[in-house]
Amino acid sequence: MMQRTEQGNTMNELTRAYDLIGDIHGHAGKMEALLLAMGYMPSGRGYKAPEGRMAVFLGDLIDRGPQQLRVLEIARAMVESGDALSIMGNHEFNAIGYLTVHPKSPEGECYRPNRGSSAKCLKNRAQHAAFLEQVGEGSTQHHEWVRWFRSLPPFLDLGGLRAVHGCWDDEAVALLKQAGWMPGSVLSDELLAAAYEPSGRVRWARELLTCGLELPLSEGRYIVDKAGHRHDNVRVANWRHWAEEFHQLALVPKGQEEQLRGMEWPAELVISAIEGSPIFVGHHWFTGHPLIESPKLACLDWSAAADGPLVAYRWDGEQELSNNKLFWVRESRHAD
């Protein structure tokens, strides 16, 4: 196990300290090892937070890993006991769409197509296969977990910090708040329909917050994702205000950076420095030695679903982030 942390500034009595935790993707062994290493103690089905602290899960609790039900059991128990908060990742959102029949589909297809034989259906089933096998597709347990996913907010503004799965955008946050989708609310059928409406504003906001900013590549360029699928668009780190060339913003699998070198800066892309409270994101499958992106933003997804560490940031009220506050484990508490 590898870990690194620093106590940091003394916490103001009026400020709760938070431990923000990146994408777990069904690896309960790493999750439990991280919680134990940070001083969380086993309690019932979950873990009790150290005095004055609370965990914040940044979404993508499910898919890929071998212990998804245990991850969900821990996270939900901690949320219900007041020892944690959790936001919705794109995988939880996809799970909702996968199970929910589209009311306008004449074939009885779901919002996230999976019942036919098209390439899209086959891809969606493959991405979700491990979760379905472990939960029992169509079971009472399956429906219950999807109902719980609907209670997860797409963002959290905790005053001194902001948490979101893909990327923070003030306009998108305000739009979802106005639509009634915010912390403390449940994703209704009406909002779910709006979140899948082609070219709809709720869909735009949801995709931006849970998936991050994606832009089309210039003609002839493409990238291949970790699953071998070819894409003609690219995920963009729109928080890197220091970037001078477009390839410095492109979040692509390792080894494909050169494919974007020399690509012109998209005219519609405007990057500015982050102001206000620091932002924590997951989603982006970083690799290597964990580091913050800037004093105002940290990505905490360091590929724990593969061979990477499960990373947390131990926040104690500071408004400028530091690498010394990162904390991680590489090994599971028990074999996956």
Q: pLDDT tens digits, the chain, 336 residues: what are they?
A: 343 333 333 334 345 899 999 999 999 999 999 999 999 999 999 999 999 999 999 999 999 999 999 999 999 999 999 999 999 999 999 999 999 999 999 999 999 999 999 999 999 999 999 999 999 999 999 999 999 999 999 999 999 999 999 999 999 999 999 999 999 999 999 999 999 999 999 999 999 999 999 988 877 777 877 667 778 888 999 999 999 988 899 898 777 777 788 888 888 888 999 999 999 999 999 999 999 999 999 999 999 999 999 999 999 999 999 999 999 999 887 655
Tokens (6 digits) for 245? 């060339």
Distances (CA, A) of 238 to 24, 40, 210, 222, 271: 24, 34, 14, 19, 6
Tokens (6 digits) for 148? 């719980």
What pLDDT does 263 receive? 84
**Residue position matching structure tokens 């994101």:** 281
Query: If you write DSSP's letter for every residue of 188-243 in order, what string do you get?
Result: -HHHHHHHTSTT-HHHHHHHHHHH-EEEEPPTT--EE-TTS-EESEEEE-TT-TT-
What pLDDT does 225 receive? 72
What pLDDT does 163 receive? 98
- CA 269 from centre of chain: 23
What pLDDT does 252 receive? 84
Q: Which of 198, 206, 196, 211 lies closest to 111 in space, CA to CA?
A: 196
What pLDDT does 218 receive? 76
What pLDDT does 142 receive? 98
Distances (CA, A) of 41 to 33, 36, 45: 11, 6, 11
From CA 152, how far away is CA 182, in angstroms rounded? Answer: 9
Which neighbouring-strand residues pair with 17? 53
**Residue position matching structure tokens 């005053």:** 159
Tokens (6 digits) for 191? 């909002």
Which neighbouring-strand residues pair with 279? 162, 297
Q: Which of 334, 293, 291, 297 lies closest to 311 in space, CA to CA?
A: 291
What pLDDT does 336 receive? 57
From CA 135, how far away is CA 326, in angstroms rounded? Answer: 32
Torsional sign, CA 13, 15, 16, 17: negative
- Outline where DSSP puts E strands in 150-231: 155-157, 162-164, 213-216, 223-224, 230-231
Distances (CA, A) of 187 to 69, 105, 205, 209, 263: 22, 20, 14, 15, 39
Residues 251, 237: contact at Cβ < 8 Å?
Answer: yes
Which neighbouring-strand residues pair with 298? 280
From CA 244, how far away is CA 258, in angstroms rounded? Answer: 16
Q: How many CB atoms lie within 10 A of CB 175?
A: 18
Instruction: Report, in angstroms and rounded to the nearest whole number, the Rg of the chain calculated over CA atoms.
Output: 19
